Amino acid sequence: MTISPSSIEQVIPGQGAMAQPSAAPGRAKRRRFRFIANAKAATGLVILGIYCLFAVIGPWVAPYNPDARSGDVLQAPSLRHWFGTTHLGQDIFSQILVGARSVMVVGLVAGVLATILSILIGVTAGYIGGAADEGLSALSNVFLVIPALPLIIIVTSIVEQASDTLVALIIGCTSWAWGARVLRAQTLSLRRRDYVEAARATGERPWRIILFEILPNLTAIIASGFVGTVIFAVMSEITLAFIGISSISSWNWGTILFWAQGQQALAQGAWWWFVPAGLAIAVLGTALALINFGIDEFVSPRLRSAGKTRIRTADGRSVRMRVGFTPVLAPTPSVPTPRAATTREDVVR
């Protein structure tokens, strides 16, 4: 007598028959798009996408040549010049659009380079171990103490025309060490997990284990490190331009602030000269920070459910649980009980 496989049921002691597990496509789809569904991450991605779009089409859609001079000197924002003009009649809105490309190129190139180096060195050191781990860890410690900003200042002072690519390469080559150490520590923890040991026992090659077993569990840390490196690279590029170290012939937001500070824009009451550039920097930093917060909430269930969990007390009240706060319930007043008679006078009464 044969039994069809479809009639076989799994039985768990104490729980009875259990049906075969079925796939839940709706739940899997929701889990796949959980990061985009996060309000912080979605807002940050939209703002970052707008900045990237301006970086690509900015020089083409700019209404004026950012270097062109005109007779409209220090004009306040108007329909003709949306963000006003400089002391030479240059359109500030055009300078903001053209300068977005330099800032985004430096930030993204430095972030990608630092992320690739941190993955190659950190994951390799953590998985291989032994002498290779010691050597790569020593290399990370050396680069960890190299100051990026002073090195960029020295290089740009030696090279006459330091391009944005050179600045991005220097930032990327000096910003990978911290991410590499974090990835190494996580890889040391992951390489002894059961699924990694099972893959190694089946004869999988090391590169395949790293790519398909370890790296997927490091995605959130890699993304967070990339966002942090982009923020540092953008701030470094703007700082170098503001203090006049990098080339002032190419436009970026730091160059706008450099000329505004040099021509005493604040003393002349030309607030429109430096406020748009400052707001552009602040909004970009906010977008990257929101993406970083979204990544933290995506990988941490405790942060994801913060403020959404409610508990019900014995008296029926509802209390919302929040991360970092311990709810303290006020004691309910107790009803006084009658005092027992203890003396002869109390008994007589």
Q: pLDDT tens for residues 1-26?
A: 444 444 444 444 444 444 444 445 55
Q: Predicted confidence band at 305 (pLDDT cuts at 50, 70, 90)?
A: low
Q: At residue 345, does pLDDT exceed 90?
A: no
The verdict on residue 347 lying in a domain is: no
Averaged confidence pLDDT in the chain: 79
Asked if residue 274 lies in contact with residue 265, where contact means CB atoms within 8 angstroms, the answer is yes
Q: 178 to each of 13, 194, 220, 239, how far by Cα in Å? A: 50, 28, 15, 22
Number of domains in the chain: 1
Q: At residue 275, does pLDDT exceed 90?
A: yes
The verdict on residue 12 lying in a domain is: no
Q: Looking at residue 56, what is its pLDDT?
A: 92
Q: SS3 for 321? A: strand
Asked if residue 168 lies in contact with residue 110, where contact means CB atoms within 8 angstroms, the answer is yes
Asked if residue 259 lies in contact with residue 75, where contact means CB atoms within 8 angstroms, the answer is no
The verdict on residue 318 lying in a domain is: no
Least confident of 90-99, 115-124, 247-256: 247-256
CA-wise closest residue to 115 among 52, 183, 51, 165: 183
Q: SS3 for 18? A: strand
Q: Looking at residue 322, what is its pLDDT?
A: 57
The DSSP element (H or E) to which 155 belongs, if any, is helix 148-158
Report residue 248: phi and psi, to 5°.
Answer: -95, 5
How many CA atoms does the CB half-sphere of 121 hold within 13 Å?
Answer: 24
Q: Looking at residue 206, what is its pLDDT?
A: 86
The 8 Å CB, 24+ separation contacts for 215-219 are: 215/119, 215/123, 217/186, 217/190, 218/123, 218/183, 218/186, 218/187, 218/190
Q: Looking at residue 111, what is its pLDDT?
A: 92
The verdict on residue 299 lying in a domain is: yes
Q: Looking at residue 339, what is its pLDDT?
A: 56
* pLDDT tens digits, one per residue of 149-191: 788 888 877 776 777 888 888 889 888 999 999 999 999 988 8
156 is written with which tokens?
A: 């740009």
Q: Predicted confidence band at 122 (pLDDT cuts at 50, 70, 90)?
A: very high
Least confident of 21-35, 41-55, 86-100: 21-35
The verdict on residue 146 lying in a domain is: yes
Q: How far apart are CA 204 and CA 312, in angstroms?
A: 51
Average pLDDT on 104-121 reads 93
Q: How far apart are CA 234 and CA 105, in angstroms?
A: 9
Q: At residue 31, does pLDDT exceed 60?
A: no
- Determine the structural domain holding residue 291 and report its residue range: 39-305
The verdict on residue 76 lying in a domain is: yes
How many CA atoms does the CB half-sphere of 76 hold within 13 Å?
Answer: 3
- Max mean pLDDT among 153-157, 286-290, 305-309, 314-318 falls in 286-290
Q: Looking at residue 70, what is its pLDDT?
A: 84
The verdict on residue 23 lying in a domain is: no
The sign of the dihedral angle between the CA atoms of 210, 211, 212, 218 is positive
The CATH number of residue 266's host domain is 1.10.3720.10
The verdict on residue 346 lying in a domain is: no
Least confident of 8-17, 126-135, 330-339: 8-17
Least confident of 200-204, 247-251, 320-324: 320-324
Any residues with CB less than 8 A from the CB of 52 and at least 6 apart, and which?
Answer: 104
Q: At residue 298, does pLDDT exceed 80?
A: no
Question: For the chain, what percent of residues have pLDDT higher than 90?
Answer: 25
Q: At residue 87, does pLDDT exceed 70?
A: yes
Asked if residue 287 lies in contact with residue 51, where contact means CB atoms within 8 angstroms, the answer is yes
